[in-house]
Amino acid sequence: MSELFLLIQIAIRNLFASFLNFVIGGIILMGTLLFVVGGSLLSSVDSAMSKSITGSIAGHVQVYSDKSKEELSLFSNWTMPDIAAVPDFSKIKPALLSVDNVKTVVPMGVEGANMTYGNTLDQTLDKLRKAVNARLAGDRSPALNERIVSLKDHVRRIVTVIQEDYKKLTVMASTQSIDPQELRAIEKAASAEFWNSFDADALAHLEFMENKIAPLLPDADLIFFSYVGTDLDSFRGSFDRMEIVDGQMVPPGGRGLLLSKYVYENQFKLKTAHRLDKIYEALHDEGKTIASDPDLQLMVKQNRSQTREILLQLDPLSSQRTTKTLQGFLKSSENDLATLLTTFFDTNDANFIERHGFFYKEIAPLIELYRIRPGDTMPINAFTKSGYIQSVNVKVYGTFQFKGLEKSGLAGGMSLMDLMTFRDLYGYVTPERMAESNQLKKNTGVKFVERDRAEAELFGGSSVVGTGGEKKIDDQAEMGGVKYSATARALMNRPYSRDEIDQGVVLSAAVILKDPSKMEQTMREIEAVSKKNGLGLRVVSWQKAAGQLGQFVFIAKAVLYFAVFIIFVVALVIINNAVMMATLQRVREIGTMRALGAQKRFVLKLVLIETLLLGLSFGAVGTLLGSILVKWMGHNGIPAGSEFLYFFFSGPRLYVDLGIGSLIGAFISICLVTSISALYPAIIATRVSPVQAMHAED
């Protein structure tokens, strides 16, 4: 013990005796600081991304059919993996819930679909048709007549805009490139005669507009979106970060669609308004300037040149009001609304905030900011597993988001759809589809034949083949008319029981655990249950279920560990050389110790303890500085500079936690690096003899 105490005293005395010790200490300090900060940062990103994925759609564990040709990837967006369906969710749900650590099981199917909404003229004509039908049904109220007059004026204004576009086109392009039938149709729709005779045969005039004029306005959109077909009630109860933003939740057991708020803002909002929002966020939240940012300058340019979308939405009265309002705001005598809008959207850093507020206060109330609103029913189209296109009308109840992930395009890229509608789009024959098919068979007298008897039935003189006669088809009567439509609507809109929702196909299921720290053990238990009951399930963690996205942390860890290894090797070489030089400078001192009776073992211990104490001293300082830096990042947070980082930070900022693992790892690394680095110089020191000390003195 006295020898150890003496060695420590000598080590402390020599701690700052040489400049080389400061070089060695500086290397150890920086390495320790990087280890503490890097380890804590990576651990925090891992935890944050875990919350983003498990708290949005993945859960802690995902199960899917082991017959799948590809691996499950929940965030694959455009290319959906080839996943085999689980035939009946009601058979796997109780088996999974029997595992002690399983809290809930949520059925899922991640797929893609598209919806098409008409252009501005289509939508205005649809409103006009509904108003005309109401008048034909007997509504003679003054309010309805005023609405019809207003809508007719709006349609005429849109036709005028189209006519002006074609006039410009004839000037810029060869007349041979313009279809003369289109020109004649536009001239007819713009004529006073056409509108004077509108009320006499309104439906025929509307049909002409819908078939001949509306297709000439190229602002209809086909929007592809990814969605999760799920039990919406169970989903909301299991993923507590979900919150309704606009509209309302789909009624319990009902059919419906909840659009992602992120998708709603980016794809369904008026493009000009969306660009204004993006510029506002960049200026207000990110500290950017229009003068220095090319992306913001491009958006300003697009807003100046793309005013047509607003012009088409304004009816004559709204146009007059907007013109007068803009003249007062801009202090201009210009009467052309298009020119006024172009001037208004010529924004810069000095006037943008004021004009952004003016737009939402004065112009936005006069137009439709969103093509689809909560409460609208839209046709959703998707390819079934058999390869044909299926279309289902779905009511959009509202929008939702995950708290903390409002601006994440990754977590916010998925919309939510009820499980019954998902099964319709997937191609699964639901009870409603079967009832509809049976009703069609009954009303039309169609006879269905088996495939193996088709040839005999068609060519064998059976009753399937008959002689056709001339007959006028009453489609309403043949298809059941209003009565059948009401029945079909009742079947589609009725609430579904829990058993009906559970009994059917799903593509996967999210498993929420009571204790996520026991995930590996729980996965083994689920695999055992699946094997015992013959469920044929493949069990994967949230990280693997997220596909390439989930592998990001694994790659980041690998990069960090590789960087640590490189630092480790470099530090070994530098410290080894520095200790070697320091040892050679102490030949006289070590030789004198040997002459006074110090054994080789004593010298070996001395060099090792000195180097280790040096490493621990500077390592402690590095750990302290690293801890202070981590605490600062934990208090202030690291801002997410992009939507990609927004997801990985699980919010607008990453608040870094000081992990005990990073501190322990830093301590172990210090001991290893300093011990290994000092080993060879210590061995060299033991070979110093008293004779060498005397030579050094001479």
Residue 316 counted as domain residue: no
Residue 527 sits in the same domain as residue 417? no
Q: What angle do CA 470, 471, 472 make, to 5 degrees?
A: 135
Q: Tokens at residue 208, please?
A: 């002409």
Q: What does the radius of gyration of the chain's CA atoms come to, in whole angstroms?
A: 37
Please provide residue 398's backbone torsions phi and psi, each rounded to the nearest 5 degrees.
170, -165
Residue 257's pLDDT is 95
Number of domains in the chain: 4
Residue 236 counted as domain residue: yes
For range 162-191, the mean pLDDT: 77
Cα–Cα distance between 99 and 550 in angstroms, integer? 25
Please choose, from the candidates 514, 518, 509, the residue with its C-alpha nearest in 3D space to the C-alpha of residue 540. 509
Give the model confidence (pLDDT) of 210-244 as tens digits.
888 888 876 656 788 889 999 999 999 999 889 99
Give the model confidence (pLDDT) of 120-150 as tens digits.
788 888 889 989 999 998 888 988 988 898 8
Residue 12's pLDDT is 67
Q: What domain range is 93 assigned to?
A: 60-109+499-545
Instruction: Say if CB 644 and CB 654 are below 8 A apart.
Output: no
SS (H, E, C) 545-598: HCCCCCCHHHHHHHHHHHHHHHHHHHHHHHHHHHHHHHHHCCHHHHHHHHHCCC
Task: With cut-offs at 50, 70 and 90, classify the pLDDT of residue 254.
Answer: very high
Please choose, from the candidates 516, 418, 399, 396, the residue with its C-alpha nearest in 3D space to the C-alpha of residue 55. 516
Residue 261 counted as domain residue: yes
Give the model confidence (pLDDT) of 285-306 as tens digits.
788 999 999 999 999 999 998 8
* pLDDT above 90 as % of the chain: 30
Sign of CA dihedral 180, 185, 187, 193: positive
Give the model confidence (pLDDT) of 384-418 as tens digits.
877 778 888 899 999 999 887 777 766 678 899 99
495 has a pLDDT exceeding 50? yes
Cα–Cα distance between 188 and 186 in angstroms, integer? 5
Question: Which residues are CB-contacts of 559 (< 8 A; sequence separation ≥ 6)?
Answer: none
Residue 555 sits in the same domain as residue 673? yes
Residue 481's pLDDT is 41
Question: Which residues are CB-contacts of 502 (< 8 A; sequence separation ≥ 6)?
Answer: 89, 90, 93, 107, 231
**Residue type at 314 in one-letter notation:** L
Residue where one domain finishes, among candidates 188, 203, 218: 218
Sign of CA dihedral 310, 316, 321, 326: positive
Question: Which residues are CB-contacts of 467 (< 8 A; sequence separation ≥ 6)?
Answer: none
Residue 352 counted as domain residue: no
Residue 688 sits in the same domain as residue 653? yes
Residue 484 counted as domain residue: no
Residue where one domain finishes, among candidates 158, 184, 218: 218
Please choose, from the candidates 10, 1, 3, 2, the residue with its C-alpha nearest in 3D space to the C-alpha of residue 613. 10
Residue 399's pLDDT is 95
Cα–Cα distance between 624 and 615 in angstroms, integer? 14
Residue 99's pLDDT is 94
Cα–Cα distance between 544 and 88 in angstroms, integer? 24
Question: Which residues are CB-contacts of 677 (< 8 A; sequence separation ≥ 6)?
Answer: 571, 572, 575, 576, 579, 611
Sign of CA dihedral 629, 635, 640, 646: positive
696 has a pLDDT exceeding 70? no
Residue 482 counted as domain residue: no
Cα–Cα distance between 281 and 652 in angstroms, integer? 13
Instruction: Say if CB 72 and CB 508 are below 8 A apart.
Output: yes
Residue 473's pLDDT is 43
Give the model confidence (pLDDT) of 629-644 as tens digits.
888 888 888 887 666 6
Residue where one domain finishes, among candidates 179, 196, 218: 218
Q: Tokens at residue 267, please?
A: 């794809």
Question: Which residues are CB-contacts of 523 (< 8 A; sequence separation ≥ 6)?
Answer: 61, 539, 540, 541
Most trustworthy range by pLDDT among 25-34, 395-404, 489-498: 395-404
Please choose, from the candidates 62, 196, 212, 48, the residue with its C-alpha nearest in 3D space to the C-alpha of residue 546. 62
Residue 523 sits in the same domain as residue 642? no
Q: Is 455 left (phi over 0), alpha (psi -120 to 50) or beta?
A: alpha
Residue 653 sits in the same domain as residue 668? yes
Residue 686 sits in the same domain as residue 575? yes
Give the model confidence (pLDDT) of 418-451 as tens digits.
999 999 888 876 555 556 666 656 666 666 555 5
Residue 325 counted as domain residue: no
Taken as a whole, the chain contains a residue count of 698
Residue 504 sits in the same domain as residue 569? no
Instruction: Say if CB 536 and CB 530 are below 8 A apart.
Output: yes
Cα–Cα distance between 524 and 545 in angstroms, integer? 16
Please choose, from the candidates 512, 509, 434, 496, the residue with its C-alpha nearest in 3D space to the C-alpha of residue 89. 509
Q: What angle do CA 260, 263, 265 make, to 5 degrees?
A: 110
479 has a pLDDT exceeding 50? no
Residue 230's pLDDT is 94
Task: CATH number of the domain at 512, please.
Answer: 3.30.70
Task: With cut-offs at 50, 70 and 90, classify the pLDDT of residue 181.
Answer: confident
Which run of H or of E encompasses 524? helix 519-533
Give the model confidence (pLDDT) of 272-288 as tens digits.
999 999 999 889 878 89
Give the model confidence (pLDDT) of 671-681 as tens digits.
777 777 766 66
Residue 38 sits in the same domain as residue 74? no
For range 457-476, the mean pLDDT: 49
Residue 42 sits in the same domain as residue 15? yes
Residue 675 sits in the same domain as residue 557? yes
Please choose, from the candidates 421, 415, 504, 499, the residue with its C-alpha nearest in 3D space to the C-alpha of residue 235. 415
For range 325-334, the mean pLDDT: 93
For range 72-89, the mean pLDDT: 78
- Give, rounded to a whole angstrom, the gap between the first and last alpha carbons of the chain: 36
Residue 490's pLDDT is 59
Give the model confidence (pLDDT) of 513-564 as tens digits.
999 989 999 999 999 999 999 999 999 998 888 776 666 667 766 776 777 6
Beta strands in 11-148 (DSSP E): 61-65, 102-117
Residue 97 sits in the same domain as residue 173? no
Residue 420 sits in the same domain as residue 564? no
Most trustworthy range by pLDDT among 157-161, 348-352, 594-598: 348-352
Residue 20's pLDDT is 67
Residue 605 counted as domain residue: yes
